[in-house]
Structure 1
């Protein structure tokens, strides 16, 4: 029998210390990696999850990007503990993170839908950023609104490649008639990160505006979402 005293792992007691700090100071004061740790405690009830939290943030760049990542991409993240043992994000942890992102998306959608969308600029921008900021492919969506500018339907009209999603103005307007929308907001993302409108974006927007105008349907704005921000055609004077 060895006389060497048993040493506890360096992370022993860390979970309770972190929970206590969150309780006393408030979770809003925790850095991103510790907030992620708190969530991972439930997905991985044993072991040190700090390296995994930091590896996730290192791989994807931000907490928002971690939550927006696909289950498949999350499961590629691997790290090593103090003893050199490899550990990573398993299927259950990845699914938990994907569920957390969906909760955030639905909360943002609920906030946008409960208010007058046009006057709730912050809620609207938060919603479209949560939905599209880290999408790896271009996605074209339309927010259809009622006569009080409240959200009737957020519909994905098309998905495309990394730099193009085909848009059919007549289909956009036809759908507005089907759901009895009085107005709409066009939204799409630029996976490149730069939300600056392209010439085809401007041309397409004008085609949708003209098609909608003929049927007395307003197009309030076209928002382009990128990692670098959200561009508004209305604010840029493009419509």
Structure 2
């Protein structure tokens, strides 16, 4: 059985080289911002505080090799991040806190605003929060009569290709929140946001139940790896 290197076992960088490299990277970041750093260098930078005595360059490069991109490395599940030699729980916390901050930044643009008038902000938020999720999630944006956001809730989490959705539970929660409109959202971890037959049938059931109760389903968005699909734009609603 192959042994993996833990954070405490990973070799520390040698004194002056270690400090000099970090200082040079910090100075370049201060002068140029993010555009002056390669993806692996920005990951290095993020890990400096969590791993003060380690050379974070090989860890950063291993993250990019394993997950394929900077965003995917930040969005990776904790259990998969633990597979990277040299990453401790504290350093994983640091990476996931950055990802959580990005999601919160985008979500803040939706609060107390008319969501339908901020459609690009909605798309940006959904792409950041769900586009790289490893399993399917079914989320609902609950809106009031002015189309302002009341609540943003994940209703169900499933497998890599299926999430059970119960239309009556969706409507029950809308009534609890006094929502008058909904935006349904789920992701396709495969990366392809094309609606399935089951997606279309489930959406129709929710629309049929919601309509007589005065609740409008504005849209159903499927989030893929880099793009998303709107049921309304496809004339499926």
Q: By the TM > 0.5 criterion, same fold?
A: yes
Moved over 6 A (4+): none
What does 1:1-150 correspond to in 2, within 5 Å?
11-78=18-85, 88-150=86-148
Q: SS of the residue aligned with 1:96?
A: helix
Structure 1 contact 43–93 (Cα < 8 Å) conserved: yes
Pick from 150, 153, 171: which aligns with 1:152?
A: 150
Cα deviation, 1:156-205, whole Å, max 9, x if unaligned, reads 11111211111111111111111011111000011111111111111111
Q: Distance in 1 between matches of 2:112 and 2:177?
A: 18
CA distance change for structure 1 residues 171 and 8 in 2, over 3 Å: closer, same or farther? closer
Q: Distance in 2 between matches of 1:147 and 1:166?
A: 28
Q: SS of the residue aligned with 2:52?
A: coil
Structure 2 contact 28–36 (Cα < 8 Å) conserved: no
Q: What is the aligned residue count? A: 224
Q: Which has the higher contact order (CA 8 A, sep 6+)?
A: 2
Structure 1 residue 30, shift from structure 2 partner:
2.5
TM, length-normalised to structure 1: 0.88
RMSD of aligned Cα (Å): 1.7
Larger radius of gyration, structure 1 or 2?
1
Q: Any gaps of 5 or more consecutive residues in structure 2?
A: 1-13
Q: Distance in 1 between matches of 2:67 and 2:200?
A: 31
Structure 2 contact 185–223 (Cα < 8 Å) conserved: yes
2:3 maps to none
Structure 1 residue 27, shift from structure 2 partner:
2.5
CA distance change for structure 1 residues 122 and 171 in 2, over 3 Å: closer, same or farther? same
Q: Distance in 2 between matches of 1:9 and 1:20?
A: 16
1:185 maps to 183
Residue 169 (structure 2) pairs with residue 171 (structure 1): yes
TM, length-normalised to structure 2: 0.88
